[in-house]
Amino acid sequence: MKKSFRDCNIKIHDWIDKSKLDFSRMCEINHDGAIQMIRKNRKKISWPLLSRNSHPQALTWLKRKPEKINWHELASNSNSEAIKLLKKNPDNNY
């Protein structure tokens, strides 16, 4: 199976200026390193992109803030918890 951008392995090197990173795009990366960066910069979360992220922590955040979920994007999420959320909220599905 072909890996997508969201499934890539990342490591942020110490010499990279983290203030110049695009945190909105970081929200769709299914990787522990990306999740750690998001956790430290929660004000910069892109909820539509996070709704695509199949990382378990991303789903935990979405469950805590269902009003922020982009249901259309969540429908493309392969995590079983995302599917449960969609089934539990059929009125929000597209």
pTM of structure: 0.80
For residue 24, the 8-state DSSP code is H
Q: Is the dihedral of CA 58, 49, 25, 40 positive or negative?
A: negative
Return the pLDDT at 81: 95
Return the pLDDT at 94: 59
Return the pLDDT at 34: 87
How does pLDDT run along the chain (94 residues), one tens digit per residue?
445 544 555 566 777 787 777 888 889 999 888 898 899 888 999 999 999 999 999 999 999 999 999 999 999 999 999 999 999 988 886 5
Query: Which residue type does 53 have?
Result: N
Return the pLDDT at 1: 44
Write the Ramachandran bin of 81: left for phi over 0, alpha for psi from -120 to 50, otherwise beta: alpha
Return the pLDDT at 16: 74
Q: What number of residues does the chain have?
A: 94
Q: Is residue 52 packed enough to be buried (19+ CB in 10 Å), middle (13-18) or exposed (0-12)?
A: buried
The token duo for 88 is 């539990």
- The Cβ of residue 70 has, within 10 Å, a number of other Cβ atoms equal to 18
